[in-house]
Chains A and B, each alone.
Chain A
Amino acid sequence: MAEQDYWGVGTKDKLTRFEESMLPHMDAAYNLARWLTRNNSDAQDIVQEAYLRAFKFFGGFRGDNSRSWLLRIVRNTFYTWREKNQREEDLINSDDMVENLQSDAPAPDALMLRQADSEALREAIESLPLEFREVLVMRELEGMAYKEIADVADVPLGTVMSRLARARLQLRNCLIDRMTRTAEPRSGSQPESPKTRLTQPARKKD
């Protein structure tokens, strides 16, 4: 930062360079923040703050992967924000769900999973514990390599691999659970009930 700010003339230059390398990743940044917060306006706040932080520390950016660098800041911004606004739901969310869904899901069907719609997938992914959700989102929605995910989440490569495996297993169980439940009470008059049951940990709506 020192050399660019010598006369203050470097500032415009810095902004231009920053925008050129970081603005193209705004969708990725928002997508991650949106999945982490599960809320539009919180995600926007976090992305904006992350961009300001990134701009401040841009002088220290020497790497070649600007997306990973930015996403790491987004993630850190989120965790800081979360500490301040700690919500019960995140805690309830994680382990109970794992217990409930892991073991006794009915016989799986690959074909059935293939037909899972966006809404079912969205709810299932949002119900995943944070540390599973973030690796899954980075892998499946951003198409990031394990190495990049490890950089962003600041964990070893092996941890990325095992979290991803567990995230997918849980996702699968969650989906199958939901689909069998929607299939069963077809006769009943409560088509909304399974959905409400699954999203029990109250999500803040957009």
Chain B
Amino acid sequence: MICSDMSESIHAYLDGELDLSRSLEIEHHLKDCPACSRVYAEQKSLRSAIARSSLHHEAPDRLRRDVHTALRQAAGSESPSRRRWDWRVLWAPLGLTALALLVVLAIVTRPSAESRLSEEIVSAHIRSLMPGHLMDIPSSDQHTVKPWFNGRLDFSPPVKDLASAGFPLVGARLDYVSGRTVAAVVYQRRKHVINLFIWPARNRGGPTDKTLSRDGYHLMFWSQDGMSYCAVSDINLAELDQFVLLLRGPE
């Protein structure tokens, strides 16, 4: 008689699907139980008969060819129909167009380096007009002012007194514009202050000559001998122009 709780385990044992302890249990039982060991012997015979037989069907060549063809058709029909109806393919051109537009917009609306610079200069100018901010060294002597910059800047800004022309030098200070320390030389025209910002020209030409107006202030940019200049004041443009011409003039 067959031990009912063993009958399935014998097959799992035969198939090597049992863990070690369960396998040992079965082996032990098979020694003691003739009925189970007979079942086991039969199943081993059956298995070897199947192993010897030619029961495994192999795929016919025709099937291989058919599948090969059918898959190619499926792959072929999959892509064009998808491409025609698939909205997702629109994303790439749309995305590119949007990106291009953004870039153009950014370029168009981006404050130019120059306009940012002039904004900062106007701010610096206004700040300097607040009490106690105008000068680090009050002096009308260009030979006092110029050496004062030594050791405070990594460049030596030219300092010129224009008192004889009605633009007296009144002093100088260090200022901070557009990420660097610059020289600010202060002149006066009647009761108006003119700030002259000086810094080394970064690239070959530096800012080209340019006159701007911003918030009621006039700014004049130019470059000379490797230095960049910006004169800023609320005096009228003609006078500022005269000032700049005097600075650039003879030398």
Q: Mark A3-28, 1 if CB is under 8 A from B, else 0.
A: 00111100110110011000100110
Contact between chains at A113 and B70 (CB < 8 Å): no
Contacts of B42 in A (CB 8 A): 108, 110, 113, 172
* A-contacting residues, B36-68, CB 8 Å: 38, 41-51, 53-60, 62-64, 66-67
Contact between chains at B8 and A172 (CB < 8 Å): no
Contact between chains at A113 and B11 (CB < 8 Å): no
Q: Mark A23-45, 1 if CB is under 8 A from B, else 0.
A: 10011011100110000100110
A11 — nearest CB in chain B belongs to which residue?
Answer: B79
Instruction: Pick the interface stretch among A50-58, A79-87, A93-101, A195-203.
Output: A50-58
B67 — nearest CB in chain A belongs to which residue?
Answer: A51
Say yes or no for A47: interface residue by CB 8 A criterion: yes
Could you say which interface size class chain B belongs to?
35 or more
Interface pairs (20), CB distance under 8 Å: A6-B89, A7-B83, A7-B89, A14-B75, A15-B71, A27-B58, A27-B59, A44-B63, A47-B59, A47-B63, A48-B66, A48-B67, A108-B38, A113-B42, A114-B46, A121-B53, A140-B47, A146-B12, A161-B11, A161-B12
Partner of B57, one of A23, A34, A162: A34
Contacts of B63 in A (CB 8 A): 26, 30, 44, 47-48
Interface size on A, residues (CB 8 A): 55
The 8 A-B pairs of least Cβ separation, nearest first, read A30-B59, A114-B45, A118-B53, A8-B79, A113-B45, A11-B79, A34-B57, A110-B41
Contact between chains at B75 and A15 (CB < 8 Å): yes
B89 — nearest CB in chain A belongs to which residue?
Answer: A7
Contact between chains at A146 and B15 (CB < 8 Å): yes
Say yes or no for B95: interface residue by CB 8 A criterion: no
Apart from A14-B75, A140-B51, 9 more pairs, CB < 8 Å = A30-B59, A40-B60, A48-B70, A55-B71, A55-B74, A113-B46, A114-B45, A168-B11, A168-B46
Shortest A18–chain B CB gap in Å is: 7
Contacts of A145 in B (CB 8 A): 17
Which B residues lie at the A interface, using CB under 8 A? 7-8, 10-12, 15, 17, 38, 41-51, 53-60, 62-64, 66-67, 70-72, 74-75, 78-80, 82-83, 86, 88-89, 92
A27 and B56 contact, Cβ closer than 8 Å, known pairs A5-B86, A15-B71: yes
Contact between chains at A122 and B8 (CB < 8 Å): no
Contacts of B71 in A (CB 8 A): 15, 18-19, 51-52, 55
Contacts of B50 in A (CB 8 A): 121, 140-141
Shortest A170–chain B CB gap in Å is: 11
Bound CA span A108–B38, Å: 9
Bound CA span A48–B46, Å: 32
